[in-house]
Amino acid sequence: MKPMPAWSRRLLSRRLAILPPFLWMALFLLVPFLLVFKISFADLRFGIPPYTPLAQLEDYTLKLGLHLNAYYLLFTDSLYIATYLNSIKVAAVTTLCCALIGYPMAYYIAQSSPRARNLLLLAVVLPFWTSLLLRVYAWVGILRNDGLLNNFLLWLGVIDTPLEIYRTDLAVYIGLVYAYLPFFILPLYANLVKLDRRLLEAAYDLGARPFTAFFKVTLPLSLPGVIAGGMLVFIPTVGEYVIPEMLGGADTLMMGRIMWTEFFNNTDWPMAAAVTVVMVAILLVPLVIFQRNQLEQMNAGKGGGDAA
């Protein structure tokens, strides 16, 4: 056998190096999603699996069965439409609240001395390392009618009757902001800490007041960080299941919850698949923004994206 030339061997080993992780993600992320898309066009049936096949060969006839009933229901039933709108609203309000609380925190952490910065950042990351489920559970004990918050307010004499927060939308907002706040702070901090301070000083030298300097210099420059953090909050919140389930009422409509009910309680897999497809369709634009942002940050980093 003729030995391979060195350059083609290098090319081959390069391909081999790239391929395995690619295959894992393609097999366990891309292909499964295509299957969801396929099954969203199936019809419910009794048996294993509980949905009709897309194509069937019968008496030398290929029968294609594209059932649109799941989608028909999804686009006409007012309950489903209310669910999408509410999921988007909840995610948008959560993102806004995370921005209002998280921006000042990220801003002041970035302004601290390196030593204080390390500690403050650690305190933001620490909850992220501990169980989300258990931290959300902590809110149950605080927000219940006979919970710590109500007891405290009653004891202070601020209120006479307990506030109804637990099992309402307000409790869901509190839980979501609490759970996702670190996701907003971290990318924004990473952006703010790299900000060129000379630009701010130039603004001050030119007579800008701190307020103006912030809105004309700092805020626009930190926008990529805000977008990265905002997407890290907005996208998963749209499909969040655990937090609305634990803190929300029966009438807290969220897409993740509806999908869960269709799948586990009604065993209507085609319907659950169709809800998933609609969810991803809604998230497509935010996902593209997020990916772009990731790519830009990668290129901005040291080494750039130039070919080796």
Partner 1 sequence: MPAKGGVMQPDRTLKAIALTLGYAFLYVPIACLMVFSFNDSALMTSWSGFSFRWYLELFNDRALLSAAFLSLKIAALTATAAVIIGTWSGYVLARMGRFRGFTLYIGMLSAPLVIPEVVLGISLLLLFVEMGQLLGWPQGNGMFTIWVGHVTLCVAYVAIVIQSRIRDLDRSLEEAALDLGASPTRVFFLITVPLIAPALLAAWLLAFTLSLDDVVIASFLSGPGYTTLPLEVFSRVRLGLKPEINALATLFILVVGIFVIVANRLQWRGEAK
Q: Which 230-269 positions form the footprint of partner 1 (CB under 8 A)?
A: 231-232, 235-236, 238-242, 245-246, 256, 259-260, 263-264, 269
Question: Is residue 71 part of the contact set for partner 1 (CB under 8 A)?
Answer: no
How many CB atoms are closer than 10 A to CB 70?
25
Task: Give phi and psi for 306, each to the nearest 5.
Answer: -70, 150
Helix axis angle, 78-111 to 114-129, nearest 10°: 150
| List 55, 82, 85, 104, residue binding partner 1 (CB under 8 A) | 104
Chosen residue from 3, 6, 8, 20 binding partner 1 by CB under 8 A:
20
Stretch that binds partner 1, among 56-64, 65-73, 74-82, 104-112 (CB under 8 A): 104-112
Q: Residue 224 carries which side chain, given as an amino acid letter?
A: P
> What's the rounded Cα separation, in Å, for the pair 146 and 149?
8
* Separation CA 162–CA 145 (nearest Å): 6
Report, in Å, the least distance between residue 250 CB and partner 1: 13
- Output the six-digit token pair for 92: 């948008």
Preceding amide of 49 cis, omega within 30? yes
Site string for partner 1, 146-185 (x = CB under 8 A): xxx--x--------------------------x--xx---
| 132 lines the binding site for partner 1 (CB under 8 A) | yes
Binding-site size, partner 1 (CB under 8 A): 96
Binding mask 107-126 for partner 1 (x = CB under 8 A): xxx-x------x-x-xxxxx
Structure tokens at 122: 């650690």
